[in-house]
Structure 1
Amino acid sequence: MQKAYAEGLRAVYLYTAAHQNPDVAQLVSGADKDLAARVNDLLLPIVKGVGSERAYQYLTESLQTLGGSGFLQDYPIEQYIRDAKIDSLYEGTTAIQAQDFFFRKIARDRGVALAHVAGQVQKFIDSEAGNGRLKGERKLLATALEDVQAMAASLTGHLMGAQQDPKELYKVGLGSVRFLLAVGDLLIGWQLLRGAEVAIQALDNGATEAFYHGKVAVAQFFARNVLPELTATRTVLANLDNDIMELDEAAF
């Protein structure tokens, strides 16, 4: 899982950075100057919010592999964990990043940038990427894309409902971090599969390096073990309520 998130997030960062240069953005996704800026803005909360959360999460799990010794200064993991934690706090906590992602980068943008990125994902799904060896994984990616689009629709419904009942905004707050992480997983899965496509081409052309086999394996692993979780997140976001917000403080 560490390999998947490390390599997948790195690819998402590079995809985001590509949209900071209009000429490169045009080459990478067909975005013009204005759209490239919008896509860059959309993805920055993913880079910061998802990147910092996943780094801390999987550094913590890596410490577990060392048992009690991992908590000691004999190994560098405990220092890495402390160093990584601050990333989810500085420049806006993850919840702030998630709300910025939905309210400003999606709702205020009227979903233009999100639709463009989703179109790029769909284009990959519809392709013959992987020469027949990624068919099942592309299907899993397609389901994940549908799940994310449904999540966006659910949160947008709550936002619109706030015009009649302001408390509907609470539901957006309750679901925004889940949504941010879900979109991150979708993009990571997509980028890993793009890498796997390139690796398969290299292997078909006679490459034998374990590096290429690793690229294919990690993409398949992520698609099969992480992307299906987005369906559960979709269900959660479709059934948000304000019960916890209305609970008397004394109940805590």
Structure 2
Amino acid sequence: MAEYKVPLADMDFLLFEVFKADDIWQKLPKLAEQVDKDTAQAILQECAKIAEQEVAPIARQGDETGVRYDAGKVITAPGYKEAFNTYVEGGWPALGGDVDYGGMGMPKMLTAMHEEMLCSADISFALYPSLTAGAALSLAKHGSEALKEKYLTKMYSGQWAASMCLTEAHSGSDLGIIRTKAVANDDGSYDISGNKIFITGGEHDLTENIIHLVLAKLPDAPAGPRGISLFLVPKFKVNDDGSLAESNNVSCGSIEHKMGIHASATCVMNFDGAQGYLIGELNKGLACMFTMMNFERIGVGIQGLGAAVKSYQNALEYAKDRQQGRALTGAKSPKQTADSIMVHGDVRRMLLNMKALNEGSRALSTYISMQLDYATYAEGEEQAKGETLSALLTPIAKAFFTDLGFENTVTGQQVFGGHGYIREWGQEQLVRDARITQIYEGTNGIQAMDLLLRKVAGSKGAMFTTFYNEVVEFIESVEHQDSMQEFVKPLSDALEDLNDLTLELLSKAQDNIDELGVSANDYLHVFGYTAMAFVWAKMAQVVLASEQISEEFYQSKLHTARYFFKRLLPRRISLIALARSGADSVFDISDELF
């Protein structure tokens, strides 16, 4: 198995050549105070060392050993506590945190790359700090000043971790029917009682306390999602001076035994009259939790990318070393008993698919992160546009990246042949680990529904128009450049086809809303490939204008851009046909005939 190497050159290329991050940061006052190009590059280089030297080496043992449940306690895999302590000593939990409470205040464009590194090294390890960062974000945005002062600093320091407690045995995606109860106390706190399942990092031995964000309902709350409130419930109560007090009637009943991410603790959590504190307003907890959920959904998309990047690195190293057969045009290594499998067209196809989709996903992730930074730190029209685009593209980040991520881990396994199916090479672990990314934080089918029904149809096409205009503006800026014609024409065609499909589906939905449900998944992927074509065209523009175009990195980028437009963007054609095929063939068959 190849040793994981962080693609720092590509990250640097995206940040500072394609998206001009340093210019963006300097014009946004809150970011200008925190980060510049030199700082960002130093952060990425140091994070790369943690990912490569501390986290990646424990991933295999973590998968084989997993977490262990012992009378309510969860013991993490060997090496995890030591690696986590090293991670904390470096100050990494504070990277994207609020500077007023000990965070570093780094932009999402930078923290997204930090997340990718950790996920490529080991998704199981990455989940622990990721859940804490998401919970801290929700607390920082919606919590009272007292709660923020008491909890955020130690979450950013890594002394305390966090979890997100939504799902119940009978209530998965339909959170409106949760049964966990909250009863008000005279001191302003609440007694929280109920059971939650599938809680990532709900219990472990990495930190001295775990802060649970729990969805619950008051007895007189309105029915459905409008009656949900969000509460902060610590594993151990916290004294006024910040020290730990007694246990808070929070316990782990068991852990799940899963297909993958074995070293991540997935817990059944019991709250037996645990003391909790309201975050935000009563009965508006879902909006508060979605701050964290949207953060996690983009993060899960990056998990898919991270697994795919490691899969590509493994497969590429194997393909260059593995000798089998001869090239169709004649032996390329006549002194050897066989050529490397790099001579075979199908192997090259698989590797280039992975390369183009991985680099396109990283670029699109950076673009979405840029919009999040505008939404967070800009003002006026820039802020509004950033909010619209980041909201629109969040389901694409989650679903498209993870669908491609799983595809690319399986493709990497295929390059290995039989060796990819056995544990020795570590490739099958990536397939198992990546599979969950399509399921949790809202299944990819739900993400597709969110995109088409809530974002596109829900805004009557207005959110889509913002994206459409963004791409049109880029096309108009480069359409007179002869060297860009091979990219501009297919991008323009893809954008117009997506626009036509959007209008057609919105029109059909006026007569039959099921048209949207049936076509949502195909629509999301059409949108994903079109958005990826947009960022690949932006990358090609930079390469073609660069004085360094003859260097290997830029030549590789240009060849990969051409491959994407010729071999991968056409996937959208069949998806468009599927999206247009209508709902009748899906709903005309009765349940009994399945």
Residue equivalent to 1:149: 499
Cα distance, 1:173 vs. partner?
Answer: 1.3
Q: Which amino acid aligns with 2:513?
A: L
Residue equivalent to 2:582: 240
- For the pair 1:185 / 2:529, whether they are aligned, the reply is yes
Cα distance, 1:154 vs. partner?
Answer: 2.2
Please list every run of 5 or more consecutive structure 2 residues that lacks an aligned counterpart in the other structure. Answer: 1-352
Deviation sequence 1:201-227 (CA, Å, 0-9, x none): 11xx24432110111111111111222
Among 534, 551, 572, which residue is 1:230 paired with? 572
| Structure having the larger proportion of residues in strand | 2
Q: Which amino acid aligns with 1:51?
A: F
Residue equivalent to 1:164: none
Cα distance, 1:46 vs. partner?
Answer: 0.7
Residue equivalent to 2:384: 34
Deviation sequence 1:103-151 (CA, Å, 0-9, x none): 1111222322321211121222223369422302211111111111122
**Secondary structure class of the residue paired with 1:233:** helix
Residues 130, 196 of structure 1: 8 Å contact kept: no
**Secondary structure class of the residue paired with 1:65:** helix
Q: C-alpha distance in 2, partners of 1:121/1:26?
A: 21
Cα distance, 1:77 vs. partner?
Answer: 1.4
Cα distance, 1:73 vs. partner?
Answer: 0.8
Residues 522, 578 of structure 2: 8 Å contact kept: no
Cα distance, 1:160 vs. partner?
Answer: 1.3
**Secondary structure class of the residue paired with 2:408:** helix
| Structure having the larger proportion of residues in helix | 1
**Secondary structure class of the residue paired with 1:208:** coil
Instruction: Please identify runs of 4+ aligned residues in structure 1 that moved more than 4 A.
Output: 23-27
Cα distance, 1:24 vs. partner?
Answer: 8.6
Q: Which amino acid aligns with 1:214?
A: S
- For the pair 1:213 / 2:555, whether they are aligned, the reply is yes
Q: C-alpha distance in 2, partners of 1:122/1:217?
A: 24
Residue equivalent to 1:91: 441
Q: Which amino acid aligns with 2:438?
A: S
Residue equivalent to 1:55: 405
Provide closer, same or farther for how the CA distance between residues 6 and 113 of structure 1 changes in structure 2, counting only shifts above 3 A.
same
Residues 3, 218 of structure 1: 8 Å contact kept: yes
Provide closer, same or farther for how the CA distance between residues 129 and 221 of structure 1 changes in structure 2, counting only shifts above 3 A.
farther
Provide closer, same or farther for how the CA distance between residues 31 and 189 of structure 1 changes in structure 2, counting only shifts above 3 A.
farther
Please list every run of 5 or more consecutive structure 1 residues that lacks an aligned counterpart in the other structure. Answer: 162-167
Which of the pair has the greater relative contact order for Cα pairs under 8 Å at 6+ separation?
1
Cα distance, 1:232 vs. partner?
Answer: 3.0
Identity of aligned residues (%): 25
Residues 35, 113 of structure 1: 8 Å contact kept: no
Provide closer, same or farther for how the CA distance between residues 178 and 220 of structure 1 changes in structure 2, counting only shifts above 3 A.
same
- For the pair 1:128 / 2:470, whether they are aligned, the reply is no
How many residue pairs get aligned? The number is 242
Residues 130, 200 of structure 1: 8 Å contact kept: no
Deviation sequence 1:74-112 (CA, Å, 0-9, x none): 112111111111111011111100000111111222322
How does the TM-score come out when normalised to structure 2? 0.39
Q: CA RMSD in A?
A: 2.2
- For the pair 1:68 / 2:418, whether they are aligned, the reply is yes
